[in-house]
Structure 1
Amino acid sequence: MASFATNIRIVATVCECAAIVTTTLRLYYRGSRGHVGLDDAWAAFSLLAAFFLLAGAWIRSDTSLPLDKRVMGYFMLNSCFTCVLWSARMSILFSIMRIIPRLMNLRRHSYFCAALFLAMWIAVLAQKLYICTHHTAWQAQKNVQCVLGEAVGAVELATDIVADAILVALPVRLLWDIGISPPTRKLLMAIFSASMITTVVSIVHTAFELGPDRDAEAIAAHVEAAVSLIICNLAVLVTWLVRLLRHGEDLESGGWADSSTGAPRRRTQVTSLRFSDNPTILLSGSATRHSGLDDDVVSRAERLTSSAKRRRDSDSFPAAPPRGAPEVSTVTLAPDTKMQDGDVDQRSSETH
């Protein structure tokens, strides 16, 4: 038992410290640039859970403490492991949502995925706590570890595979047609596809969870938690590294190009129809087709735009439009992943 206590403390300390350092760097970078978002809030929550996970590992493995305190340490360890894992996934999901335009249906799908992640998180945590509180024989044993059984292992593995597959599918779907250079697209896809590494570690952890080796299960749990949190920070840290190597240029700021030819891509033209008595209607010649609007709606907006332009060119002093008539104008919306969600609404409401 003394050997296992030493090993688990070493593994837990090394893994959690690596995750804590990467998360701290991520939060420092985002905070220094003033780009803190919901994905950083989830990362901060995961960082806090990682501290309690490390503390629980040390308390549970301290044989000099009474059993009730070691049992408390195990509950802290077990619950915080699940919280680290799922809050890291929520952070990755909200990082993807930061770069999804509001006009795309994919953004609504990502909100549904966030609700699904939260439901799976609660289900896994509730199942674990139920089993460990209703089967109390393990609390009198020296190793102080609850045997979760096949039911928990199957639910954990299924939810891990579903969640990690979603975290890979969403950015691949977004980046497949977006106008960025092929090297940048490949780099971003590789970063977001790293979530599958968590699935591989999760399979190993589940295999030990279903087997008789409880010590290996505990070690695999710490490795899985650390890997999930490090991958959660990977996109931000790689962006920071690229910014340093390119002397201040962001990963997303350069190389916007057509997805098929690699030629520079024209910025999205957003048409704004304003009525004096009605709210603003936003239509886009290219983005609306991806957002699910009908083609005839888009074509009517384009005809209104071209008609207004001809009237403006033919009349050097155009008369003010009557009350209730639409004023047609265009604005340019450049892809910028560093913008906050509120910035998109503000820019799209300005006309020239």
Structure 2
Amino acid sequence: MAVDHAALFIASSVFNGLAMILTLFRLFFRLRIERLWWEDMWAAVMLVCGMTFSIAQLISFETVDYDTALVTAWMSSLAFTSTVWVARMSLLYSTIRVISPSSVLRKLTRVMTVVFFLFWATVIVLKTCWCVHNTKAMLTLGSEYLVCNLPKVVIVFQPIANCVSDAVLVYLSLKLLWRAKLPRRRHRMILTLFSSSILISMSSLSHAICQLMVSFEKGMYITFEIEFTSALIVCNLLVVVTYMYRVILSSPSGSLPSESEEDDDFTTPIRTNTATELTTIDLDVSPCTTAEAANSNLSSGVSSSFNSA
């Protein structure tokens, strides 16, 4: 059965637009409360990659020129890979933010950011090298657009890298959830991270299975769009869910029940202690006045000593 690329493009565009709106909301919200961090920077990179992918797809459906179609095929392929891996990087940094700074687990998680980046770079290099040195790999699918047919080595490496990275995200979430004394809001944050990791893992696994099944072309393109869209949406679940929880259940004063500084879900501005004692010094006092005041204090002190004697 042929794939209705036009219908698939329209459906994916709607969900991609929703995902980008969520990303913009997340960045604006964190910027407004002055809580931007590395996880949000990765989300901003993901937004750029997602917009590049959507624009490339739009052009590919409108153009009939081979060279233009070839450029958009490169743009969509690299933007897709970058979007999925940047979403994982954002989730990983969200996990780092929750872990205690003095914990050994936090140091190990920082090491995993390097591993994730190497996975991402390796996939990009493998795709680029193969498609550049094997021009016959660029085949026309119907009259829609061009796609690079990757070899089995690359197709197998991608799901392995995806499974390893997703397993790390799931393990870190479970490791934190096992802490029985975790504050309520922190527990909710980590549960959201766990759910996000599971969702992105399921979408990448389904896409990998369809890639390995050459005869299942329709499912491959459907799961391709699902993996991309889920990466965009899942990356922002943590901020959106915690924000909605605060809006729905917060008191009129804007605070949640049993709210404490230790139980921070990063949806409130940073609390600073501004109560300081100020000492006022009058600089317009003449030397004579100062001397008279000192003599007066000395006389009163002598009188009180005499009276007590």
How many residues get paired?
264
Q: Which secondary structure does the structure 1 equivalent of 2:178 belong to?
A: helix
Q: CA deviation at 1:215?
A: 4.8
**Does structure 1 residue 249 correspond to structure 2 residue 255?**
yes
| Residues 105-120 of structure 1: pairs in structure 2 closer than 5 A | 105-120=104-119
Q: What is aligned with 1:16?
A: 16
Q: CA deviation at 1:217?
A: 2.3
Q: Deviations over 1:316-351 (max 9, x none)?
A: xxxxxxxxxxxxxxxxx94545399xx99x99xxxx
Q: Which secondary structure does the structure 2 equivalent of 1:60 belong to?
A: helix
Instruction: Output the amino acid matched with 1:241.
Output: M
Q: What is aligned with 2:4?
A: 4
Unaligned runs of 5+ in 1: 257-332, 348-352
Q: Deviations over 1:9-36 (max 9, x none)?
A: 2133123212212111211221121101
Q: What is aligned with 1:154?
A: 156
Q: Which secondary structure does the structure 1 equivalent of 2:207 belong to?
A: helix
1:98–1:189 CA distance, 2 compared to 1 (3 A): closer
Q: Aligned match of 1:223 in 212, 222, 226?
A: 226
| Residues 181-200 of structure 1: pairs in structure 2 closer than 5 A | 181=183, 184=185, 187-194=188-195, 195-200=197-202
Q: Deviations over 1:106-158 (max 9, x none)?
A: 11011101000000000111111122112212446344111113222211111
Q: Which secondary structure does the structure 2 equivalent of 1:145 belong to?
A: strand
Q: Which secondary structure does the structure 2 equivalent of 1:249 belong to?
A: coil
1:184–1:140 CA distance, 2 compared to 1 (3 A): closer
Q: What is aligned with 1:65?
A: 64
Identical amino acids, percent of aligned pairs: 25
| 2:186–2:263 contact (8 Å) kept in structure 1 | no
Instruction: Output the amino acid matched with 2:242.
Output: T
Q: CA deviation at 1:249?
A: 3.1
| Cα RMSD, aligned residues only | 2.9
Q: Deviations over 1:245-277 (max 9, x none)?
A: 222336xx8478xxxxxxxxxxxxxxxxxxxxx
Q: What is aligned with 1:180?
A: 182
Q: Which secondary structure does the structure 2 equivalent of 1:101 belong to?
A: coil
| Residues 1-352 of structure 1: pairs in structure 2 closer than 5 A | 4-62=4-62, 64-139=63-138, 141=140, 142=143, 143-177=145-179, 179-181=181-183, 184=185, 187-194=188-195, 195-210=197-212, 211-247=214-250, 248-249=254-255, 254=258, 334=262, 336=264, 338=266
For the residues of structure 2 that align with 1:185 and 1:40, how far apart are their CA atoms? 18
| 1:11–1:222 contact (8 Å) kept in structure 2 | no
Larger radius of gyration: 2
Q: Deviations over 1:207-238 (max 9, x none)?
A: 22221344542332221011012111111111
Q: How does the TM-score come out when normalised to structure 2?
A: 0.76
| 1:85–1:228 contact (8 Å) kept in structure 2 | yes
1:133–1:8 CA distance, 2 compared to 1 (3 A): farther
Q: How does the TM-score come out when normalised to structure 1?
A: 0.68
1:7–1:339 CA distance, 2 compared to 1 (3 A): closer
| 2:30–2:267 contact (8 Å) kept in structure 1 | no
For the residues of structure 1 that align with 2:125 and 2:232, how far apart are their CA atoms? 22
Instruction: Output the amino acid matched with 1:338.
Output: F
1:179–1:238 CA distance, 2 compared to 1 (3 A): same
Q: Which has the higher contact order (CA 8 A, sep 6+)?
A: 2
Instruction: Output the amino acid matched with 2:194.
Output: S
Q: CA deviation at 1:95?
A: 0.9
Q: Which secondary structure does the structure 2 equivalent of 1:144 belong to?
A: strand
1:215–1:57 CA distance, 2 compared to 1 (3 A): farther
| 1:12–1:219 contact (8 Å) kept in structure 2 | no
For the residues of structure 2 that align with 1:130 and 1:3, how far apart are their CA atoms? 28
Q: Which secondary structure does the structure 2 equivalent of 1:179 belong to?
A: coil
Q: Which secondary structure does the structure 1 equivalent of 2:266 belong to?
A: coil
Instruction: Output the amino acid matched with 1:180.
Output: L
| 1:12–1:54 contact (8 Å) kept in structure 2 | no
